[in-house]
Amino acid sequence: MSKSSDNTAKITKVTMDVVKLLTPLDSEGRQKAIKASLTLLGEADVDMDSGGGRNGGDGDGAGAKSGGSFPGLSTKASVWMRQNGLTKVQLEHVFDIDGSNVSVLGGTIPGKSSKDQTIATYILKGVAQLLATGEPTFDDKSARKLCEDLGCYNKANHAVYMNSVGNALSGSKEKGWKLTSPGLKKGAELIKEMTKGA
């Protein structure tokens, strides 16, 4: 048996053993286990988002074309980026991302009316939280403040607007809000609209 085929057989066996060990974990747990194992083996510089090469880059190359990622971004947020074809550059045009602090940058919020812009702002707040924490949940007070900051807050009609969010958000002013799957999709569409030609 040649050295090459012997090595291939070892790799295949180890791969099957690793898969068996990782099967009970969720996706995020699997990635954490793999990254921790690589770190223990002295392979801490492996960039798993760019094909597994050492020092795979900063996400501005080929990895950015397929979604890219930020260091420290949760698995859930990275998957959402890939599923929606978003790049690191697009996110940086809409959000100020500084580690676990993510905020919506000022600018023109899509929407033909104050109602549309308010709902879009709440959705973008949910996306900011997804990027910051891995969960698209937020309190009403912070989203309302964002509406004020972006100039789309209408005190007289805000409650009416929030009663017509459709299926993009679940929750309430008292309990807080969470982006639903349609809301996450709408968030990606808003980001693409805001970054056209950028």
- Asked if the structure places residue 135 within a domain, the reply is yes
Domain with 33, as residue range(s), is 1-44
Quote the crossing angle between the two packed helices 27-40 and 75-83, to the nearest 10°.
110
Query: Is 0.75 topped by the overall pTM?
Result: no
Which helix H or strand E contains 143, and what residues bound it?
helix 140-150
- Asked if the structure places residue 81 within a domain, the reply is yes
DSSP state of 57: -
Number of domains in the chain: 2
Based on the domain organization, do 36 and 13 belong to the same domain?
yes
Based on the domain organization, do 2 and 40 belong to the same domain?
yes
Based on the domain organization, do 148 and 100 belong to the same domain?
yes
pLDDT of residue 176: 96
Helix, strand, or coil (residue 126): helix
- Asked if the structure places residue 150 within a domain, the reply is yes
Based on the domain organization, do 21 and 65 belong to the same domain?
no
- Asked if the structure places residue 66 within a domain, the reply is yes
pLDDT of residue 65: 39
Based on the domain organization, do 17 and 93 belong to the same domain?
no
pLDDT of residue 58: 38
- Asked if the structure places residue 51 within a domain, the reply is no
- Asked if the structure places residue 5 within a domain, the reply is yes
Q: Cβ of 168: how many Cβ atoms within 10 Å?
A: 20
pLDDT of residue 106: 80
Terminal Cα-to-Cα distance of the chain (whole angstroms)? 56
pLDDT of residue 43: 62
Based on the domain organization, do 13 and 39 belong to the same domain?
yes
Q: What is the pLDDT tens value at each position of the chain, 198 positions in all?
A: 566 666 677 777 777 788 788 888 887 777 877 877 766 666 644 445 444 433 333 333 333 333 455 667 888 999 999 999 999 999 999 999 887 889 999 888 999 999 999 999 999 999 999 999 999 999 999 999 999 999 999 999 999 999 988 999 999 999 999 999 999 999 999 999 999 876
- Asked if the structure places residue 174 within a domain, the reply is yes
Based on the domain organization, do 132 and 181 belong to the same domain?
yes
Sign of the Cα torsion 127, 132, 136, 139 reads negative
Based on the domain organization, do 183 and 115 belong to the same domain?
yes
Helix, strand, or coil (residue 170): strand
DSSP state of 52: S
